């Protein structure tokens, strides 16, 4: 009887009545689409800093490490920042399905622009990928939720688990394929492969769109004609001001990449501050909700510090892998971009272990509090950069260190991620005021934006010292101090959280 009911529920959520591993058939479409999108994104990411720092004679852009890593940090920050307007566009204009399709097209164009051997097309391509990722990232997870009969559907958590497995499969395979081609054959051919990966993902999405829920076509809060005129007018004014300002800078011969990096970095830090100030001053919120938001700010800052270090896996750690790490292990030669496959590999191996561990500890009433899990995550991410400090010291004098150094760094970071990232998503939903319930997940992504923008400022400020022994030591110690501070003040944070634990 239970199986019959479940099958009926599945068929009601899947127009074709077909299933995928016991889930609505649309999950297969979203699984494959996201897998190929992540394949394209992580493949491009594995090459990005290596291409920017490679000598012009080797086909690269010949950038200094500090500038290249800062560009990378700002780029990743914008991907997460643009998830906010991406969700808004789906809610007010297009609906989730059309927004994801549009995002996929823009991402694909961006990758193929990177494949063109010209510096201008390279940076334009990064803009396209950031914009497209903001449109897609904000909505494809929402579409997974649309496949199920509300938040209490017993298959929902399992569906998201399958979906996130697709993310990690794509992220794991990408550096092995795209990284190898880009480093060993031609940079731009590697970027083109990323474009082909996105094209496959987009094709999968369009071909399987009939299996998706009708909810994904709904514009939940359609914008009125009057609102649209006001928004377009303001957007046109801001765009005109930017064109005039940067046009003047370019025409007077003063433009450098710093004119893009610094304003975006400052904006990436200022926007979260503005958002929290707006929410905290909202008169519609009760005193209990405002107290919970004060508690949430502690977690947000902790997450920003975490992502500031974690997201350097594709920048400073990538440069270290290329310049200071041996490319042979157990007699096997491999390109440095392969190190980027370690994190998704570790996640796939350890995520089930952590899921079991939290349940087991909970049964024994020994499950750590959210605050202590965050503190542990900070200690782990800080510790990973202290390991990097030792690895950099070991590479002094041009010595190529064993790949096991980076294997250890990525393992420590992944353990930290599994204690902080999933818990952060959960606590965000628990502490969100009712008025901002649907917006708070976008606010959580702003922690990544803020952290990456701080990293960009540090990298530009330190210049040639970026990637040095004390560069890693400074950030590692800072994260450890933040973790200790969070643990010391955990009782205060718990009081602010009210009835949430």
Which overall architecture, per CATH, does domain 9-223 show? Answer: Up-down Bundle (1.20)
Q: Which of these, 27, 232, 1, lies nearest to 143 by C-alpha position?
A: 27
Q: Where are the domains of the chain?
A: 9-223, 225-256, 286-501
Tokens of 65: 């490490």
What's the CA gap between 445 and 90, in Å, rounded? 17
DSSP letter (8 states) at residue 432: -
pLDDT one-digit tens code per residue, 126-167: 999 999 999 998 788 888 888 888 666 777 767 777 888 888
DSSP secondary structure of 381-426: HHHHHHHHHHHHHHTGGG--B-THHHHHHHHHHHHHHHHHHHHHHH
Least confident among 60-74, 186-200, 242-256, 307-321: 242-256
What's the CA gap between 367 and 380, in Å, rounded? 18
Same fold, 9-223 and 286-501: yes
pLDDT at 6: 37
CATH number of 286-501: 1.20.1250.20
Which of the pair, 362 or 71, is modelled with greater confidence? 71
**Cα dist. 345→86, 276, 278, 338, 407 in Å?**
29, 35, 40, 11, 11
Residue 408: other Cβ atoms inside 10 A: 16
Q: What is the mean pLDDT of residues 183-194?
A: 95
Tokens of 415: 């353990």
Residue 19: other Cβ atoms inside 10 A: 17
pLDDT one-digit tens code per residue, 382-419: 999 999 999 999 998 889 999 999 999 999 999 999 99
Q: Which of these, 239, 233, 202, 223, lies nearest to 98 by C-alpha position?
A: 202
pLDDT at 15: 52
Tokens of 99: 């927004």
pLDDT at 380 over 50: yes
Q: What is the pTM of this model?
A: 0.90
What's the CA gap between 501 and 495, in Å, rounded? 10
What's the CA gap between 64 and 460, in Å, rounded? 10
Check if the beta carbon of residue 385 is closer than 8 Å to that of residue 473. yes
pLDDT one-digit tens code per residue, 295-305: 999 999 999 99
* Reported confidence tier of residue 103, pLDDT bands at 50, 70, 90: very high
Using DSSP, state whether 69 is helix, strand or coil.
helix
Instruction: Name every residue whose Cβ is closer than 8 Å to that of residue 303 and which is 6 or more positions away in sequence.
Output: 374, 420, 424, 444, 447, 448, 451
What's the CA gap between 174 and 339, in Å, rounded? 11
Portion of the chain with pLDDT greater than 90, in percent? 61
Which of the pair, 446 or 425, is modelled with greater confidence? 446
Adjacent-strand bridge partners of 332? 329
Check if the beta carbon of residue 410 is closer than 8 Å to that of residue 342. yes
Helix axes 316-324, 65-81, angle to 10 degrees: 140
Q: What is the mean pLDDT of residues 193-209?
A: 94
What's the CA gap between 421 and 437, in Å, rounded? 19
Q: What is the mean pLDDT of residues 459-485?
A: 94
DSSP secondary structure of 312-340: GGGTHHHHHHHHHB-SEETTEE--GGGGG
pLDDT at 76 over 60: yes
Max mean pLDDT among 9-13, 122-126, 220-224 falls in: 122-126
What's the CA gap between 218 and 422, in Å, rounded? 28
Segment 425-433 long-range contacts (CB within 8 Å, at least 24 positions apart) = 426/370, 427/296, 427/299, 427/370, 427/500, 428/296, 428/299, 430/500, 431/292, 431/293, 431/295, 431/296, 431/299, 431/497, 431/500, 433/279, 433/282, 433/285, 433/289, 433/292, 433/293
- Supply the mean pLDDT for the chain: 89
């Amino acid at each position: 009887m239970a199986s019959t009911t479940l099958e009926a529920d599945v068929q009601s959520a899947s127009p074709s009545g077909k299933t995928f591993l016991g889930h609505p058939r649309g999950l297969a479409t979203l699984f494959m689409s996201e897998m190929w999108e992540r394949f394209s994104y992580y493949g491009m990411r594995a090459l990005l800093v290596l291409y920017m720092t490679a000598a012009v004679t080797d086909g690269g852009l010949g950038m200094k490490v500090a500038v290249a890593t800062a560009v990378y940090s700002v780029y990743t920050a914008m991907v997460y920042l643009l998830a906010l307007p991406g969700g808004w566009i789906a809610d007010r204009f297009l609906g989730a399905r059309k927004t994801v399709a549009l995002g996929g097209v823009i991402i694909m164009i961006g990758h193929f622009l990177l494949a063109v051997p010209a510096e201008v097309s390279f940076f334009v391509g990064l803009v396209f990928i950031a914009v497209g990722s903001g449109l897609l990232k904000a909505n494809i997870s929402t579409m997974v939720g649309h496949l199920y009969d509300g938040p209490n559907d017993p298959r929902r958590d399992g569906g998201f688990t399958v979906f996130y497995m697709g993310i990690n499969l794509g992220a794991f395979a990408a550096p092995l394929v795209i990284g190898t081609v880009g480093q060993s054959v031609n940079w731009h051919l590697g970027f083109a492969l990323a474009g082909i990966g996105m094209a496959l993902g987009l094709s999968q999405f369009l071909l399987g769109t009939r299996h998706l829920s009708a909810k994904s076509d709904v514009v939940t809060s359609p914008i009125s004609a009057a609102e649209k005129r006001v928004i377009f007018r303001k957007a046109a004014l801001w765009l005109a001001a930017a064109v005039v300002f940067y046009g003047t800078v370019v025409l007077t011969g003063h433009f450098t990449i710093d004119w893009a990096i610094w304003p975006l970095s400052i904006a990436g830090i200022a926007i979260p501050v503005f958002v929290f100030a707006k929410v905290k001053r909202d008169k519609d919120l009760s005193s209990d909700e405002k107290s919970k938001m004060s508690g949430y700010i502690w977690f947000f800052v902790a997450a920003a510090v975490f992502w500031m270090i974690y997201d350097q896996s594709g920048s400073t750690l990538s440069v270290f892998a290329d310049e200071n790490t041996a490319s042979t292990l157990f007699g096997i030669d491999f390109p440095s971009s392969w190190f980027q496959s370690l994190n998704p590999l570790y996640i796939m191996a350890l995520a089930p272990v952590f899921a079991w561990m939290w349940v087991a500890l909970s049964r024994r009433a020994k499950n750590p509090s959210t605050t202590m899990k965050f503190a542990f995550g900070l200690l782990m991410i800080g510790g990973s950069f202290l390991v990097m400090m030792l690895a950099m010291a070991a590479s002094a004098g041009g010595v190529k260190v064993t790949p096991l150094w980076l294997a250890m760094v990525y393992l420590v970071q992944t353990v930290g991620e599994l204690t902080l990232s999933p818990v952060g998503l959960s606590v965000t939903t628990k502490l969100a005021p009712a008025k901002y319930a649907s917006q708070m997940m976008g606010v959580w992504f702003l922690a990544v934006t803020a952290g990456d923008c701080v990293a960009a400022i540090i990298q530009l400020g330190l210049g040639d010292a970026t990637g040095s022994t004390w560069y890693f030591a400074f950030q590692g110690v800072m994260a450890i101090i933040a973790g200790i501070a969070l643990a010391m003040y955990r009782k205060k944070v718990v009081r602010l959280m009210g009835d949430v634990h």
